[in-house]
Amino acid sequence: MTETEQPSVALSVLLADPELGLSQVTGPAEGRRISTLGTTEIEAPTPCLVGGELLLTAGVGLPRDANGIDTYLQRVIAAGVAALGFGVVPV
């Protein structure tokens, strides 16, 4: 690892760990590396993102319409989020 590389773990390693109870819904896991974890319930988290995040949300602050969700996803993808996780337990 060089000075500019952040420590990271492959997304596939996290998905394969049965103790985490994760389920992949869509998108490729291959080549995705998680360097940090972030949680958010704000509608526009991109100013706080640096890339490589596993971004977790319960969906409380997400837009309520399909166009708003698409915009949210486009923004977090453009910010370099490696994976987006949704909590499934009611808030």
Q: pLDDT tens, 76-91?
A: 999 999 999 998 776 5
C-alpha 91/C-alpha 48 separation (Å) is 23
Give residue 37's pLDDT: 92
pLDDT in tens, 45-60: 999 999 999 999 998 8
Is the pTM here over 0.85, yes or no? no
What pLDDT score was predicted for residue 87? 86
pLDDT at 2: 57
Cα separation, 91 vs 83, whole angstroms: 21
Q: Strand ranges (DSSP E) for 2-82?
A: 9-10, 33-34, 36-39, 53-57
